[in-house]
Amino acid sequence: MSQQIAAIILAAGRGARAGGGLPKQWRLLAGRPVVAHSLAAFRAAGIKRMVLVIHPDDRDRAQAVCDVDVACVEGGSDRGASVRAALEALAANAPPQKVLIHDGARPLVSRDLIAGVLAGLETSHAAAPGLAVIDALWQGAQGRVVASVPRAGLFRAQTPQGFDFETILQAHRAHAGGAADDVEIAASAGLGVAITRGSEDNFKLTYPADFDRAEKVLSQKQADQMDFRIGNGFDVHRFGPGEGCWLCGVLVAHDRGLQGHSDADVGMHALTDAIYGALAEGDIGRHFPPSEAQWKGAASDIFLRHACARMTARGYRIGNCDVTLVCERPKIGPYAVAMQHCLAGIMGCDTDRISVKATTSERLGFTGREEGIAALATVSLLRA
């Protein structure tokens, strides 16, 4: 994701109500500090620039969880001052276009929730997740109910709260202080705030029992993530007349071309079949029958994009994939990185999840006689 989006993670409070002898954001949750889970969630969502706001006493702890994508900033006397410090730090060095502001003590924030806030920012200067209040509300005094409060139109606020960077920076600079959150500051500056979908799992750790609840949620998520699939693909195309071969989306110079009903991209075909196989949805021929003239000469990225769309619709994402091209010639090495980047662009994943390599068959068989090229692909799919 672009450096034009930054995330501010607030972790400067003391959190005494949570107990445990440490500020709650530094207590261990499933073997890692709470704030490490929050940072990991934003990395998983593709956010490549983060600011962690810390208490001066916690700098050593922060260094243990901060990677190169995280800058540490010391917080202020209250939440508003801490956010302001982080915003000013971002403003001083290539300010982003958008910023997400998140409570570090909400370690179970999901990629989908973050994506929802970013989607809200496409049409609004501010967006934040909320949950509609569904329980009856009372006003109490001295341990007794004194009135009922209408709940229609009420929401429980969550984070991350997202903003146009320059707009929220100016709102903070103009605000007198004392706001409950950044939405209040934005509203006081006259900004409309879009409400996006919140999550019951995205609760803020406040009391000791919240840690037990979070452990249970994490255990269930880890069990869900064990739902992964593996698929294999194999394809062959013969050589024929031509001046190059399409391989993994890259035109490779050669004195012959590959023959097939489509563009004969043997590597992309094998990878596409591997994804269909992992989903138990057959192969390219089932979805794009060669008997249909419309697929004559078609670019193979059409097939791969369809397989990836099916993968997403079924609730999976790419774990990794490995494509091996088997041929004596052409030489694949000079093109392998370009192939990797091409596939990553089509599949919507990082290049470090894609491997493209080649081998020969030691002059044996049809590939050894340079009659064609074979390709093998293996893919793992993880529950999104």
pLDDT along the chain (384 residues), means of 10: 84 78 90 93 93 94 85 94 97 96 96 96 97 96 96 97 98 94 96 96 95 92 79 96 94 93 94 97 93 88 95 92 96 95 94 96 94 97 84
Cα distances (angstroms) measured from residue 161 to each of 36, 125, 126, 257: 19, 11, 8, 53
Query: Which residues make Cβ contacts (< 8 Å) with residue 339, sequence separation at least 6?
Result: 247, 248, 249, 250, 267, 323, 332, 356
Q: What angle do helix axes 336-347 and 266-278 make, rounded to 10 degrees?
A: 40
State both tokens at 161.
């709260």
Does residue 250 contact residue 335 with C-beta atoms inside 8 Å?
Answer: yes
Cα gap 196→193, rounded to integer Å: 9
Architecture of the CATH domain 5-225: Alpha-Beta Complex (3.90)
| CATH classification for the domain delimited by 228-383, as one of 3.30.1330.50, 2.40.50.140, 3.30.70.270, 3.20.110.20 | 3.30.1330.50
Cα gap 80→116, rounded to integer Å: 24
Whether cis (ω within 30° of 0) applies to the bond prior to 129 is: no
**Residue 176, number of CB atoms within 10 A of its CB:** 8
Spans of all domains in the chain: 5-225, 228-383
pLDDT (0 to 100) of residue 210:
95
